[in-house]
Amino acid sequence: MFGTITAGISQGFIWAVLALGVYISFRLLEFADLSCEGSVTLGASIAAMLIWKGLNPFLASIIAFCGGCIAGSVTGILTTKLKIPPILSGILTMISLYSINIHIMSIATGTSGTANLSLLTFSKNTIYGVLRTALGLEKTYVTLICGAVFAVVIIAVLYWFFGTELGSSIRATGSNEKMCRAQGINTDTTKILGLAISNGMIALAGSMLCQYQNFSDVNMGVGSIVIGLASIIIGETVFMKVKNFALRLLGIVVGSVIYRIVVAIVIYSGMPSTDLKLMTAVIVMVALSLPIIKNAFYASSKKRKMRSEAAEIDAEVTKNG
């Protein structure tokens, strides 16, 4: 059980990077960006291909981040310059990345149409492999430490960036685009920039994921947007009253870890594997409806309080009357 949960937590930290990326587009820009599913695989493919070519894994991850930024900018340009609706722009980037990812992985093997690139023989030359040799720890703990450090660093950088004038203008674009333009902000630029950062981080998550599971597969992005959104919503539910931006970002990391732990527990409990997807849906559903349940609970307890107060007054009136 302990091992399962630690593995869940270490995976949660990796998915947290993805969730933070989704948060930028989904919450800060109010942009439902579906290119996410392609960007995860893009990051994984780039990192896997470069590691195959013998590049330093840290450098490979940074290049994967840059690749994601390019993908994000494409979505941004499609929607701002070509005026294609947001959802469709995301889908267009996502489906084109499918082919591009296969091409990238094919560079490594030299055979066209490589849809699955294994890093099993390169496991010493992944970020986790390198750190493992350097620290002399087990893989789970290295992933745990590495994930936590990554999360903290990324939160710090995001907190700083979205506090700058440029970052604030990106946040403002999501809040009120017309007002933003009235203030002389070029919202096209801020949108493209926001999407680039968002997809860059998603690709970074993909590169970490592929180094963790030791392979990149063209279908590995399937369902990632759901995991990202679920993590955001669980995090927001847990950190409901928090106004501080850094703490809200931390909430997403916590949400992502909670999500993975719950999935790990569902799997560990040995329930029929056919029900896995249903269970996942139920978890997200519960997380989504928690605020409403909470409010309904508050409202009913308030009503009860008011009713009992009214009864007391009534009683007093009859006594005195």
Partner 1 sequence: MKNSRKVLSLILAALMLVSTFAFASCGKTDDGKAGGAYNIPIVCGETGMNDVCGVATYGVNYYNLGVAAGDMAADILLNGADVSAMPVQLDPAPALSVNTKVAGEIGFTIPEAVSSNASTGDTTIAVTPVAEAIVAEGGDFTVGILQLVQHVALDQSNKGFQDQLSVRMSEAGKTVTILDQNAAGDQSNCVTISESFVGQDVDLIYTIATSAAQSAAAATEESGTPVLFCAVTDPVSAGLVESMEVPGGNVSGVSDINPVADQIDLIAELLGKDDIKIGLLYTSSETNSVFQIGLAKAECDAKGYTYVDKGIGDINDIESAFIALAAEGVDAIYIPTDNVLANGAANVHSINIGG
Min CB(75)–partner 1 separation in Å:
15
* Chosen residue from 54, 110, 184, 270 binding partner 1 by CB under 8 A: 270
Q: Which segment (69-77, 111-119, 194-202, 238-246) binds partner 1 by CB under 8 A?
A: 111-119
Q: Any residues with CB less than 8 A from the CB of 177 and at least 6 apart, and which?
A: 187
**Interface with partner 1 (CB under 8 A), residue from 273, 317, 318, 319:** 273
The count of C-alpha atoms lying within 13 angstroms of the C-alpha of 295, restricted to the half-sphere facing its C-beta, is: 8
In the numeric block, the tokens 């506090």 are attached to 163
Minimum distance from residue 169 beta carbon to partner 1 (Å)? 24
Cα(168)–Cα(170) distance, integer angstroms: 5
At 30, which helix (H) or strand (E)? none
DSSP, res 55: -
Task: Indicate which single residue of 55, 145, 214, 288 sits in contact with partner 1 (rule: CB under 8 A).
Answer: 214
Q: Is 92 in the site for partner 1 (CB under 8 A)?
A: no
Q: Would you count residue 96 as binding partner 1 (CB under 8 A)?
A: no
Q: Which stretch binds partner 1 (CB under 8 A): 114-122, 177-185, 192-200, 299-307?
A: 114-122
Task: Annotate each residue in 29-68 with x if it binds partner 1 (CB under 8 A) or - if it does not, as one string.
Answer: ----------------------------------------
Nearest approach, Cβ of 131 to partner 1 (angstroms)? Answer: 14
Distance CA 29, CA 265 (A): 34
Smallest separation (angstroms) from partner 1 to the CB of 261: 10
- Determine the 3-state secondary structure of 33 from DSSP: coil
- 118 versus 168: smaller Cβ distance to partner 1: 118
**Contact at 8 Å (CB) between 48 and 88?**
no
Check residue 83 and report its DSSP letter. -
Measured distance CA(305)–CA(291) in Å, rounded: 21
Q: Is 163 near partner 1 (CB under 8 A)?
A: no
Which listed residue (175, 223, 293, 295) binds partner 1 by CB under 8 A?
Answer: 223
Q: List C-alpha distances in Å: 248 to 31, 253, 292.
A: 18, 9, 20
Q: Is there binding between residue 213 and partner 1 (CB under 8 A)?
A: yes
DSSP-assigned letters across all residues of 41-94: HHHHHHHHHHHHTT--HHHHHHHHHHHHHHHHHHHHHHHHTS---HHHHHHHHH
Report whether 92 contacts 36 (CB < 8 A).
no
Q: Smallest distance from the beta carbon of 120 to partner 1, in angstroms?
A: 4
Site for partner 1, rule CB under 8 A: 1-4, 7-8, 11, 15, 82-85, 98-99, 102, 109, 111-116, 118-121, 123, 138-140, 209, 212-215, 217-220, 222-224, 227, 260, 263-264, 267-268, 270, 273-274, 276-277
